[in-house]
Amino acid sequence: MMSFFTENTAEILLKTWEHLYISFIAILIGTLLAVPLGILLSKTKKITKIVLTITSMLQTVPSLALLAIMIPFLGVGKTPAIIALCIYSLLPILNNTFTGMQSVNENVKAAGRAMGMTPAQSLRMVELPLAMPIIMSGIRLSAVYVISWATLASYIGAGGLGDYIFNGLNLFKIDLIVGGAIVVTLLALVVDFLLSRVERSMIPKGLRIQGGRSS
C-alpha cells in the first residue's frame, strides 16, 4: 500500500492538481451562476419555486448518467466534466443564497430603505454582508460534493484522481483503488476545513460579538 504512494508521488501530485483544477473551475462557474440567480430569486418570489424545482431535479440525475449525456454534445475531456460538475454545484449554492437573503431581518432592510438606500446599496451594504455566511456555507457544501464527484469525471477522460480508481477497477489492483480514494477523501477534508475557516471569517464581526452591557 505504501509503495503506491512512494512510487507514484510525482504522478499523484499531478493528478491531485488536475482534480483540484476541474473541481475549482466547476465551483467557480457554479458560484458565479448560482449566487446572482439566488439573489434574483429572493427578489422575485414568483419564479422561485419553479427554478428551485428544476435545480433539484438536475441534482437527482445520476452523476454517471449526467457525465455520459455530455459526451454526444461535448465529446470527452475536461470541458464536459466541468460542465456536469458545475450543474451539480448549482443547487446547494442557489438554495443557500436564497435562504441567506431571506434570513436578513425585514426590519433591518426596512431601516435601510427608510434611511434612503437605493436597492443596490441595500444589497451591497446590508443584505449581502448579512447573508454571506450562509452563502459561503453553500459554496463549501458544493465544493465537498464536487471534489468527490470529480472522481467520476475520469470516466469521460477528464483525468484527476479518478484515474487511479478506474484503473484499479479495470486491473483489479486494490491498492490503486484505496490509494486514490484516500487522496480524494483527504482533498475533500482539507478543502472543507479551509473553506470553513473562510466561512467563519465571513461572519460580520458585529454578529460574532455577543454579550450584554446593561444600561
Partner 1 sequence: MLHIEKLKKVYRGGKIAVDDLTLDIQKGEFIAFIGTSGSGKTTALRMLNRMVEPTSGTVTINGKDMMKINPVTLRRSIGYVIQQIGLMPHMTIRDNITLVPRLLQWQKEKSEATARHLISLVNLPESYLDYYPSQLSGGQQQRIGVIRALAAEQDIILMDEPFGALDPITRDTLQDLIKELQRNLNKTIIFVTHDMDEAIKLADKIAIMHEGKLIQFDTPDNILANPINNFVKEFIGSHRLIQQKPNFKTVDEVMIKAISITIERSLDEAIRLMVKSRVDTLFVTDGDNRLLGYLNVESLTGDARSKKSVSEVYIKDIVYMKTGSKLQDSVRRILKRNLNNIPVVDNQNRLIGLITRANIVDIVYETIWGDEEQELKDS
Q: Which of 24, 83, 113, 166 binds partner 1 (CB under 8 A)?
A: 113
- CA 52, chain centre distance (Å): 16
Cα→Cα distances 99→27, 29, 47, Å: 19, 20, 15
Distance CA 200, CA 157 (A): 36
Q: Which of 121, 175, 178, 192 binds partner 1 (CB under 8 A)?
A: 121
CA angle 39, 43, 48 (to 5 degrees): 80
Count interface residues toward partner 1 (CB under 8 A).
28
DSSP secondary structure string for all residues of 113-156: HHTT--HHHHIIIIIHHHHHHHHHHHHHHHHHHHHHHHHHHGGG
CB of 111 to partner 1, least distance (A): 4
Q: Which of 71, 117, 181, 182 binds partner 1 (CB under 8 A)?
A: 117
* 112 near partner 1, judged by CB under 8 A: yes
CB-nearer residue toward partner 1: 68 or 202: 202
Contacts of 37 (CB under 8 A, 6+ apart): 51, 94, 97
CB-nearer residue toward partner 1: 54 or 115: 115
* 205 near partner 1, judged by CB under 8 A: yes
- Do 22 and 154 contact (CB within 8 A), yes or no? no
CB-nearer residue toward partner 1: 44 or 107: 107
- Report the site for partner 1 in 44-103 (rule: CB under 8 A): none
* 147 near partner 1, judged by CB under 8 A: no
CB-nearer residue toward partner 1: 104 or 158: 104
CB of 119 to partner 1, least distance (A): 9
CB of 113 to partner 1, least distance (A): 7
Q: Which three cell numbers stand for residue 155?
A: 470516466
Cα→Cα distances 47→42, 51, 92, 96, 125, Å: 10, 6, 18, 16, 26
Among the listed ranges 20-28, 64-72, 146-154, 198-206, the one in contact with partner 1 (CB under 8 A) is 198-206
- Do 103 and 134 contact (CB within 8 A), yes or no? yes
Among the listed ranges 48-56, 108-116, 146-154, 191-199, the one in contact with partner 1 (CB under 8 A) is 108-116
Would you tell me which residues interact with partner 1 (CB under 8 A)?
105, 107-108, 110-118, 121, 125-126, 129-130, 204-207, 209-215
